[in-house]
Amino acid sequence: MPRPTALLAALLGLLTASGAMAQSGGAPHSWLFGTWTGGLFPVPSGMTAQACLAQPTFIVTRDVVMRASITDITFAQRLVETVRNGSGGTDFRFVQGSDPVASISRGLLGLEAPKPTPGFGCENPDVLHVQRRSENEIVFPGCADFPNPLVRCGAR
């Protein structure tokens, strides 16, 4: 199994490569491509880019959205089905499915029901509304798991 730091470094390389596509306006959510921190907690005012990149809480690529949680060491990932920009921000609709890890680990004697697909604590786990507050700050309105704003992680 790859180490989390190696995996994150590879992911950041992909995000950098997709940055050129974000500049050309290819995908409707290209303005979100990259790593974000906060949401779970208030972002410290003096956070460096290195500290932000070391512990992101939200990562957006063209086809996948990943989120951190306080209770799990791995990122939950959701495959993007559709994305729509509107006046209030960007709306993601994710592919419906179950958590792949939960689907194979059914507890003692297989009696535990599979866990639901990870969401963001919003009204629908398969939908995420992202509201832009500024170029480098976003919020997820109505999502209990992310009560605080998120800020974009800058370059090193």
Report pLDDT digits (tens) over 57-106: 999 999 999 999 888 888 999 999 999 998 889 999 999 865 555 555 55
Q: Taking all residues of the chain, what is their mean pLDDT, rounded to a whole number?
A: 80
Give φ, ψ of 27 to 5 degrees. Answer: -100, 150
- In angstroms, the Cα distances linking 2 to 5, 7, 25, 26, 102 are 8, 6, 32, 31, 20
CA distance 7 to 10: 5
Q: What is the pLDDT of residue 32?
A: 94
- Closest by CA to 37, choosing from 28, 23, 47, 26, is 47
Q: Where are the domains of the chain?
A: 4-152
- Average pLDDT in the 109-130 region? 79
Name the pTM for this structure. 0.73
pLDDT band at 29 (very low <50, low <70, confident <90, very high): very high
Distance CA 73, CA 44 (A): 21
For residue 145, give every residue at least 6 positions away whose Cβ sits within 8 Å of its Cβ, in sequence order, or none. Answer: 39, 40, 67, 69, 119, 120, 121
pLDDT at 70: 84
Which of 19-28, 114-123, 132-141 has the largest mean confidence?
A: 132-141
Sign, CA dihedral 15-80-77-85, equals positive
What is the largest distance, in Å, between two alpha-carbon atoms of the chain?
A: 52
d(CA 57, CA 40): 8
- Give the C-alpha distances (Å, rounded to integers) separating 54 from 62, 72, 77, 122, 156: 21, 16, 18, 26, 11
